[in-house]
Amino acid sequence: MITIIGSGKVGGAAALFTALRKVTDEILLLDVVQGLPQGEAMDLNHMLAERGIDVNIRGSNDYSEMKGSEIVVVVAGSGRKPGMTRMDLLKINASIVKGVVENIRKFAKDSMIIPVTNPLDPIAYLTYKVSGFEKNRVFGMGNMLDLSRFVEFIHESTRYSRHSIRAMVIGEHGENMLPMPRYSTVSGIPLISILSEEKIEGIVQDTRQVAAKVIELKGATVHAPGNAISTIIEAVVRDTKQVIPVATYLDGEYDHSNVSIGVPAVIGKNGVEKVVELDLNSNEKEWFKKGIDSVKSAISNLQL
């Protein structure tokens, strides 16, 4: 069973995309709002019925029903409003997620946790510390979403098939994220040999700024994060060993410790099975360090 805590737009989208991938027989939607997860589950089941997909989605307001969950996705918390940075959310969401994680520890102590609540990296750190779980069992969805946006901008600039594009984004899930043109390709052809330096810089900046644009236009990002969550879930359940950038706790990797931030990792049945350490040049190290400093500044204010 997979549990998704938070039944708003992103939680519902995560349940939808996970069900469409057919990686589990049962999905539990949990929320403190009476009726919301139950109604969302009904709506999704009606869609799945017509599609002939035998994944049962149910809704509940009772944390104890997550017993036996293999994976728990934490989407609970306040959404980012127009004009807000992800860090503006920290004070609001840290206390919410802390309570959620305490319930996970109580009712689903053998699960893996995928934090999604923003600001993602400090929340992933809080989740790891409060849960007391091994670090391989706590990994946040952040850069997987950033990666999907980076791929789209590469597609728009090259007009090559999205299917042919492989890209990487690491670092803070926020203004200091680090899209990696040197580690991005189109059918194996390095991106840096296809596009000019000026064009690539434009794509990088667009990737960093587009979340705020989507929020400004429609109020929230929904489908891309929902799909990113399901991609990570599938890698765990199917044990694909896919290399995915996730926010995980560093203990010496990339020469940093006591911080959770986005890095590429091999994701399989044991969660984060290996952190992949890319060889960063001086400019990339500088941007990565900006993200580290930003996240460490944020977590220094957490009450753990």
Q: Which amino acid is at 116?
A: V
Decide if 130 contacts 117 (C-beta within 8 A): no
| 173 part of the active site | yes
In 3D, which of 175, 211, 170, 193 has the Cα closest to residue 79?
211
What DSSP character marks residue 220? S
Instruction: Say how far apart CA 240 and CA 40 lie, in whole Å.
Output: 29
Residue 29: closest CA among 2, 55, 53:
2
For the sheet with 242-251, list strands across it.
242-251, 257-268, 271-275
Range list of H helices, 108-135: 120-131
Of 155, 163, 173, 256, the active-site residue reads 173
Q: Specify which residues 114 forms β-bridges with.
A: 73
Active site members: 173
